[in-house]
Amino acid sequence: MGLLRAFIAIEFPQPIKDAIERQTARLRQTLGNDLIRWVPAQNMHLTLKFLGDIAASHVDFLKQMLAREADTHPQFDLQIGGLGSYPTSKRPRVLWVGLHAPADLASLQKSIEAGACRLGYEQEERPFSPHLTLGRVRQNLSPADLPKIRAALDNIQLGNIGTARVDSVHLIRSDLQPSGSIYTNLFSAPLSKTRGEI
């Protein structure tokens, strides 16, 4: 069956995705599609670990690891709101919606990273920075276009969009198509219901 491209992520309920779409509509209209490649709302997720190309025969090991790690972490809530760009507002490459997360999120991400490393996946060098990618700045922009993006980010404030309950983590397959990525959920591992059930 060969290789498949995969990652581990937190999914968000449809009402939250709809709210993000509504609240970012003005930004999308202001900047349009010539400057930014927008992520469709249904594809928004919080990546905990990007695995890259994996052997299909390895999926079962990943499922076992994910089930084990998820079971040792309690469910928690994430606040969604705020707007920003990476790496800086002067040279934006990625536009994002912010996530305000309890320490539970960092703990969950760390243990999934460690579990993936034990299975032979490469350690992520960059520090974990929770966000939802709204769009990516197109590569062929002229220097005159960057101030437009910066001005739009400065002028459009994004307040609190809502709260999402995180009750599971997912192993997701990504198929790259000319029209964008198509995601398929391969496995979902529920988080523990309460603290202390470890």
**Inter-residue contact 67 to 186 (CB < 8 Å):** no
How much is the pLDDT for 60?
A: 96
Tell me whether strands 36-38 and 45-55 are parallel, antiparallel or unpaired.
unpaired
Q: Which residue has the tokens 């927008």?
A: 38
The single-letter DSSP state of residue 26 is H
Domains and CATH numbers, the chain: 3-190 (3.90.1140.10)
Q: What is the longest distance spanned by two Cα atoms in the chain? A: 55
Place of tokens 């536009």: 95
- The whole-number pLDDT of residue 157 equals 83
pLDDT tens readout for residues 102-161: 999 999 999 999 999 999 999 998 899 999 999 999 988 888 888 899 999 888 888 899
pTM comes to 0.89
Q: Are 135 and 38 in contact (CB under 8 A)?
A: yes
32: three-class secondary structure by DSSP = helix
